[in-house]
Amino acid sequence: MSVSDPYEQAIEALAEALGRPVPDEVVWSRLRERVATFCRLASEWNQHLDLTAADGPREIAEILVADALVLARRELVHEGEALLDVGSGAGGPALALAILREDLAVALLEPKGKRVAFLRTVMGSLDLAPRVRAHEGRVEPRRPSLPPAVAASMASPSVSCARATFEPRVWAEVGLALAPSTLVLLAQEAPPEGHVLEADVRYELPFKRASRRTVRLRRSST
- Domain positions in the chain are 66-219
* Cα torsion 138, 96, 196, 79: sign: positive
Q: In the β-sheet with 132-136, what is the strand arrangement from edge to edge?
A: 132-136, 105-110, 82-86, 159-162, 181-186, 210-219, 195-205
Q: CB–CB of 106/97 below 8 Å?
A: yes
User: What is the C-alpha to C-alpha distance for residues 161 and 69, in angstroms, rounded to an integer?
Assistant: 14
66-219 CATH fold = Rossmann fold (3.40.50)
Which residues of the chain register pLDDT less than 70? 1-2, 222
CA 114 to centroid of chain Cα atoms: 19
Neighbours of 88 (CB within 10 A): 28
| pLDDT of res. 48 | 85
* Cα torsion 64, 69, 70, 75: sign: positive
Q: CB–CB of 201/74 below 8 Å?
A: no
**Peptide bond preceding 111: is omega within 30 degrees of 0, i.e. cis?**
no
| pLDDT of res. 2 | 61
| pLDDT of res. 151 | 86
Gyration radius of the chain's alpha carbons: 16
Give rounded-to-5 percent helix, strand, coil for the chain: 40, 20, 40
User: Which residue type occupies 65?
Assistant: V
| pLDDT of res. 198 | 97
pLDDT single digits (tens) 124-144: 999 999 899 999 999 999 999
Burial label for 114, CB within 10 Å (0-12, 13-18, 19+), is middle
| pLDDT of res. 222 | 54
| pLDDT of res. 51 | 78
Report pTM: 0.95
**Peptide bond preceding 93: is omega within 30 degrees of 0, i.e. cis?**
yes
Provide the Cα torsion 85, 24, 8, 160; round to 10°: 10
For the chain, the residue count is 222
